[in-house]
Amino acid sequence: MCRNYALFLAVLLLGLGGAFFLGMNQTVVETAPPVDITAQPEQVVIPTTLPTNTPEATMNSEFPDVNFNYTEEADADVEYVRAIQQADGTWTFHVTVRHPDTGWEDYADGWDVVLSDGQGVIRPDPSQPFTRVLFHPHENEQPFTRSQSGIVIPEWATIVTVRAHDIVHGFGGREVTVVLTTDEGTDYVVERAE
């Protein structure tokens, strides 16, 4: 009798333990996030709290050597933007910038794609301070055009602003606002790749 009772308890405990283990596994499987094999490349949208035309709009302590202020002296101007939506939904921006580069001491060092109303700056490479970093002066090539592909713009965003930055004065030069749902506008064109 004692032996049957011990056997009964052992089977009961094993059954309860197995049910508990299966229940744990089932919970883990059900709560694991699904894997999206169509996900876009990782990008960072750096949120801003103010419109892009204010000095405090893009203060960013991640890059302490970069002057993110807006100043009246800033003279890196965006002259033209060609935005192309690729078949995979990503964007390529070709941005023409004019700045009186004098060499390494004063040159345009980047440009940004900013979501409407200053809601964020799109940075395809989170380790870089701008949407597109300009790595050297262009004193003998003015204006100049540089491109950035693989830009992921949220579906809800229909308007972006493109701005340029100079190493001495920061932001504050001429910006171009691009309406992504139109084919062209003042100093920009929007295309769709086929």
Is residue 125 in some structural domain? yes
Contact (CB, 8 A) for 86 and 92: yes
Is residue 80 in some structural domain? yes
Is residue 39 in some structural domain? no
Is residue 162 in some structural domain? yes
Question: Which pLDDT value is given to residue 79?
Answer: 94
Question: Which pLDDT value is given to residue 142?
Answer: 83
Is residue 115 in some structural domain? yes
Give residue for tokens 């345009």: 108
Task: Based on the fold, state whether residues 102 and 183 are members of the same structural domain.
Answer: yes
Is residue 2 in some structural domain? yes
Question: Which pLDDT value is given to residue 118?
Answer: 63
Task: Based on the fold, state whether residues 70 and 28 are members of the same structural domain.
Answer: no
Tokens of residue 52, six digits:
């892009």
Q: From start to end of 54-158, where are the E strands? A: 77-85, 91-98, 108-115, 121-123, 132-133, 144-151
Task: Based on the fold, state whether residues 102 and 165 are members of the same structural domain.
Answer: yes
- Closest of 124, 100, 20, 102 to residue 111, by C-alpha: 124
> Cβ neighbours of residue 134 under 8 Å, at least 6 residues apart?
97, 107, 108, 109, 110, 111, 146
Is residue 109 in some structural domain? yes
For residue 116, give the CATH number of its domain.
Answer: 2.60.40
Provide the residue range defining the domain that includes 100.
44-192
Our count of domains for the chain comes to: 2
Question: Which pLDDT value is given to residue 172?
Answer: 87
Tokens of residue 22, six digits:
């299966």
Question: Which pLDDT value is given to residue 8?
Answer: 54
Tokens of residue 136, six digits:
């050297």
- For the chain, residues with pLDDT lower than 50 are 2, 12, 16, 18-41, 44-60
Task: Based on the fold, state whether residues 115 and 142 are members of the same structural domain.
Answer: yes
